[in-house]
C-alpha cells in the first residue's frame, strides 16, 4: 500500500494555517497567509502567479512536498520576506531576481 501525497490545495491550507499560527507579517508582495503560501508553493512547482485554480486538486511528489514544507518552515523561523527565499518577485506579470540588496519595508514594532 502506498501513501498518497497531498494535493496542492492541501499544502496551501497547511501553509496558511502555519503562517496564521505563527503570526507572520505580510506586505512584501502579499498581504495574507493564503497568498504567501501560494507564492512559496508556486516557486517550488514553477507555476506562474496567476495559475489556474484547477491545479488545486493535483498531487505533488514527495520531493516537492519536502521542498514546500522546508520553505514554509524557513519563512516562519527566519521571518524574512518570501521573495528573499525564492529570489524572485513579480512586477507587471514579469519575474525579477531579488536578494537581500532589495529593501522591503519592515513592520513597525509597537512598544
pLDDT of residue 2: 55
Which H or E run contains 91?
strand 88-91
Q: 52 Cβ partners below 8 Å, 6+ apart?
A: none
Report the predicted TM-score, pTM, of the whole model to 2 decimal places: 0.84
Q: How far apart are CA 78 and CA 83, in angstroms?
A: 13
The answer to whether the beta carbons of residues 98 and 87 sit under 8 Å apart is: yes
pLDDT of residue 111: 37
**Burial class of residue 22, CB neighbours in 10 A (0-12, 13-18, 19+):** middle
Q: Which CATH class is domain 8-97?
A: mainly alpha
The answer to whether the beta carbons of residues 41 and 8 sit under 8 Å apart is: yes
pLDDT of residue 93: 78
pLDDT digits (tens, 9 = 90+) for 14-36: 999 999 999 888 877 788 999 99
Amino acid at each position: 500500500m502506498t501513501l498518497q501525497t497531498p494535493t496542492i490545495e492541501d499544502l496551501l491550507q497547511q501553509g496558511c494555517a502555519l503562517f496564521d499560527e505563527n503570526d507572520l507579517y505580510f506586505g512584501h508582495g502579499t498581504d495574507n497567509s493564503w497568498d504567501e503560501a501560494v507564492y512559496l508553493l508556486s516557486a517550488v512547482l514553477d507555476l506562474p502567479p496567476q495559475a489556474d485554480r484547477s491545479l488545486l486538486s493535483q498531487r505533488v511528489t514527495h520531493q516537492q512536498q519536502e521542498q514546500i514544507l522546508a520553505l514554509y518552515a524557513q519563512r516562519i523561523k527566519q521571518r524574512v520576506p518570501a521573495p528573499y527565499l525564492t529570489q524572485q518577485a513579480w512586477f507587471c506579470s514579469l519575474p525579477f531576481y531579488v536578494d537581500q540588496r532589495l529593501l522591503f519595508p519592515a513592520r513597525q514594532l509597537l512598544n
